[in-house]
Amino acid sequence: MKLKKHILFLLLFVTAIAFSQVNTGKKLTIKGTVKTKEKRNPISGVEVSATSGSVVYTDAFGAYRIKAEVGDYLLFKSLDFETVEYRIKDDEDVDVLVEGLDEDVQLSKSALHKIYIDSAKQFKKTDIGKSIDYIRLSLEQLGKRGNNKDRAMSFLLLGEIYEYHKQYDLAVENYSESLTYNTISDSQLKLANAYLLNKNYNKAQVLYAKLLENNKLSVYQKIVIYEGLGDAYKSLKNTKQAVENYTKGLKIAQKELVKPKITDLNTKIAEAYGDANQTEEAVGYFKNSLKSAESEAPERALEISEKAADFYNKNSLYNEEMKLRQQSLEDIQLLENSAKKKTVARSATLDKVEVPITRQRINYKIANNLIVQDKLDEAIPYLEESIYEAAIEDDFVVQKDATRKLSEVYDDKGDYARALETYKKYAAVADTLYARKEQEISRAERLSKQIAEKQNRITGLEKDKELYESKSSLAQTKQDLDTTTSTKQKILIYALVLGMFLLGVAAFFFYRSNKQQKLANNLLALKSLRSQMNPHFIFNALNSVNNYISKNDERSANRFLSEFSTLMRAVLENSEEDFIPLTKELELLELYVKLEHSRFPDKFNYSITTDPNIDVAAFKIPPMLLQPYIENAIWHGLRYKNELGYLNINLKQKNKEAIEITIEDNGIGRKKSAELKTQNQKKQRSKGMGNIKKRVAILNSMYKDKVAVVITDLTSNGIGTKVTLTLKKD
């Protein structure tokens, strides 16, 4: 009977242990609030992160909700207080109360500044341009006397944005700027990490070592600091110091059961030994890392397995590598079946993995393993599978490498026909990859230029603030010296203050105006040119009215005046616009040609035709752009003909994004017209045509070649003129 009781107790004990192990990796939903201790005021914008990877922020009520595991540490980070950590035991609510913040939080933080900071966080990963703009707006709200904690928050978030988008030099610059306003350990940690990413290893090592002197560090921060020190020493080729610091961090992580860091640090120790060619030690730590990763997410285990496999490959341990690669293929299949994802690289768990872990990449590595062992026939199916899957996933890098490798294998086997055929496919893929790389480089250059412009605007804000502070400091110095210095010294100080102020202001405005000068000049010139209209037309139109009046043709004079005033009113209304709808421009042209025809009915007939397939409403055109060309056709071509001429204005579709407008006349032609000019006319330049050329040049520089104009003779003998204008959509 006693034996049965002991057996039953043992079974219950084993079951309890197994149950607890099964539930260790279970995700729980932890919720709670972050408030001030004295008045229970909610604190918004606090970063809440779990050591297993999840990150959220408290809302306007100080509330949060996060996914985490039992044994995780919750870290509560803010520039207003030192980082708070809490160890999760179950799914209980975790409420945090912070001392000494009631007055600071309520009085110092601008509501608008918080809104812009929250908006910047929202666009941090999806739109770097918008995110930086919101940071700039948050700094503008603070002005010159803003709270230092708020200013530090803006620059800290800006550093995080740049770090996420791999602009590490700018991340270092802005983390450093944040620390000038508020020095807290979390900000220093981010700066040290940015130094590492920017390859400033000595600076990173110094800062990490300095951080260890802080006796208020949380457990997780200590682990991260020792890990960072190890990374710095490893990059400086100091394996001994690297392993020593990794080991210190590992001991803390093992003691506190911080599973992700146990895995990370075992892996890094293995890599450090591997770099030092201490293969046996490296293998041992890789085994520890693989064992630790098994208790984490499947994606995590896969990541570590691939790192170990790469190490085995580098050290010619091909059998061990092959086992891990085959297991990785099985793990990917399980992940795809369960999560319905095509590649593991899309998993949030592997966001930080530099090279995506994909089926095609693993197949390619398995093939290389077999090729090195001269197992060419076994390698071919893996290469073919890698090429096929890479093509499906648009992974041109792997597709290119695998196709080239397959061609080399066929060549080694003596199958030269297949080798040549495969090499041609490789060349085609390489060309496609090259074209895509060029596009990526072009996009990167544009993004880099955009980021530089936005960062310069933020730097300008800080220079303006520094200038203000410098002026205030000098003014205070002058006030202190008033009681002890002579009049001459006072004058000198005034002169120095004024000189420094003017120099700073001049430098600041020169910097800003230098970029805007070209745009401002263009806008001014364009406005001036828009406000001008060929005086010949106005003068001749008024002469026509005078002729009608002298002939007592009051009705014709009234009609002409009415239509002329309608045209002039429309011209004046559009004079402030760079572009107007093409439909408006056509109405103005039809009215203008009608007026000219009423003056010269015996000189020409005209037609205005529009291709019915053109969506006229979709196009815009600079106002009165076509009028000078039509006026030239009438006054310098058709007016001198003895017989009745014609003027044709035709609009047709050139392509999906552009239309072609042609103005044709069968007048005497440009050469004959030039010969008929008087000496006075030859000395004068055509103001209307000159204005048009200037307007087209300015508009094309501002709107990327929106308008193109070509003037040619209509016939080979110089009779008639044809103006072809190409207009693109916006």
pLDDT single digits (tens) 179-206: 888 888 888 888 889 989 998 989 888 9
pLDDT at residue 427 above 80?
A: yes
Q: Looking at per-residue confidence, does 690 or 616 come out higher?
A: 616
Q: Give the DSSP H/E element, type plus range, for residue 647.
A: strand 645-655
Residue range 454-467, pLDDT digits in tens: 677 677 656 666 55
Confidence (pLDDT) at 660: 92
Element (H, E) at 184: none
- Judge whether residue 268 has pLDDT over 60: yes
The predicted-structure confidence for 489-511, as pLDDT tens digits, reads as follows: 668 788 888 888 888 888 887 77
Helix (H, G, I), strand (E, B) or coil at 37: coil
Q: Please, which pLDDT band fits residue 537 given cuts at 50, 70 and 90?
A: low
**Matching residue, tokens 């003998």:** 717
The confidence band for 536, taking pLDDT boundaries of 50, 70 and 90, is low
Q: What is the total residue count of the chain?
A: 730
Would you place residue 572 in the very low, low, confident or very high pLDDT band (cuts 50, 70, 90)?
Answer: confident
Give the whole-angstrom CA distance, residue 341 versus residue 440.
26
Is residue 574 pLDDT above 70, yes or no?
A: yes
User: Can you tell me the mean pLDDT for 430-451?
Assistant: 76
pLDDT tens-digit series, residues 51-63: 877 888 887 678 8
Residue 474 reports pLDDT greater than 60? no
CA dihedral 534, 617, 664, 537 (to 10 degrees): -20
Contact 159, 171 (CB under 8 A): yes
**CA 62: distance to chain centroid?**
31
Q: Which residues in 148-187 are b (16+ Cβ under 10 Å) and which e? A: ebbbbbbbbbbbbbbbebebbebbbbbbebbbebbebbbb
**Higher pLDDT, residue 347 or 266:** 266
pLDDT band at 650 (very low <50, low <70, confident <90, very high): very high
Query: Using 50, 70 and 90 to split pLDDT, how confident is the model at 344?
Result: very low
Whole-model pTM: value is 0.51
Question: What percent of the chain shows pLDDT beyond 90?
Answer: 6
| 668 neighbors 719 (Cβ within 8 angstroms) | yes
Do residues 376 and 413 make contact, with C-beta atoms less than 8 angstroms apart?
yes
Q: Give the mean model confidence (pLDDT) for residues 679-699.
A: 66
The helix (run of H) or strand (run of E) holding residue 711 is: strand 707-713
Spell out the alpha helix ranges (H) of 165-257: 168-181, 185-197, 201-211, 219-235, 239-256
Rounded to the nearest integer, the mean pLDDT of the chain is 79
Over residues 72-76, mean pLDDT: 88
Cα–Cα–Cα angle for 648, 649, 650, nearest 5°?
A: 110
Q: Provide mean pLDDT across the span 402-431.
A: 86
- How far from each other are the two terminal CA atoms of the chain, in whole angstroms? 92
Which of 1-5, 534-538, 651-655: highest mean pLDDT? 651-655
Q: Specify the range with the lowest mean pLDDT, choosing from 214-218, 402-406, 508-512.
A: 508-512
Q: How many CB atoms lie within 10 A of CB 202?
A: 11
pLDDT surpasses 50 at 674: yes
Out of 212-226, 430-444, 453-467, which region has the weakest mean confidence (pLDDT)? 453-467
Alpha-carbon separation of residue 40 from 36, 43, 83, 108, 112 (angstroms): 5, 9, 19, 17, 22
Asked whether the predicted pLDDT for residue 168 surpasses 50, the reply is yes
Using pLDDT thresholds of 50, 70 and 90, give the confidence band for residue 8.
Answer: very low
pLDDT at residue 663, as a whole number: 94
pLDDT for 648: 93
Distance CA 541, CA 599 (A): 8
Q: In angstroms, rounded to a whole number, what is the distance separating the alpha carbons of residues 125 and 127?
A: 6
Quick one: pLDDT at residue 702? Answer: 75
**CA–CA separation, 352 and 68 (whole Å):** 19
The answer on pLDDT for 25 being more than 90 is no
pLDDT bucket at 482, cuts 50 / 70 / 90: low
Structure tokens at 75: 């870290």
CA angle in degrees (0–180, nearest 5) for 375-376-377: 100
Percentage of residues in the chain having pLDDT higher than 70: 80
